[in-house]
A and B are shown apart, each in its own frame.
Chain A
Amino acid sequence: AQSVTQLGSHVSVSEGALVLLRCNYSSSVPPYLFWYVQYPNQGLQLLLKYTTGATLVKGINGFEAEFKKSETSFHLTKPSAHMSDAAEYFCAVTKSGGSYIPTFGRGTSLIVHP
Chain B
Amino acid sequence: GAVVSQHPSRVICKSGTSVKIECRSLDFQATTMFWYRQFPKQSLMLMATSNEGSKATYEQGVEKDKFLINHASLTLSTLTVTSAHPEDSSFYICSARDGAGANTEAFFGQGTRLTVV
State the A residues within 8 Å of B (CB). 9, 32, 34, 36, 41-46, 49, 51-52, 90, 94-102, 104-107, 109
Secondary structure class of chain A's binding surface, majority of residues = loop
Q: Across the interface, do A99 and B102 meet the contact criterion of CB distance under 8 Å?
A: yes
Contact A105 B49, CB 8 Å, known A43-B4, A100-B101, A100-B102:
no
Instruction: Work out how many contacts link A and B, with CB atoms closer than 8 A.
Output: 62
B interface, how many residues as a size bin?
20 to 34
Q: Which residues of A contact B110 (CB under 8 A)?
A: 42-43
| Cα distance A100–B44 in the bound complex, in angstroms | 16
Known pairs A42-B110, A43-B4, A43-B109. 18 more at Cβ < 8 A? Answer: A9-B41, A32-B103, A34-B105, A43-B6, A43-B95, A43-B110, A44-B44, A45-B108, A49-B103, A49-B105, A94-B102, A96-B102, A98-B102, A100-B104, A101-B34, A102-B106, A106-B42, A109-B41
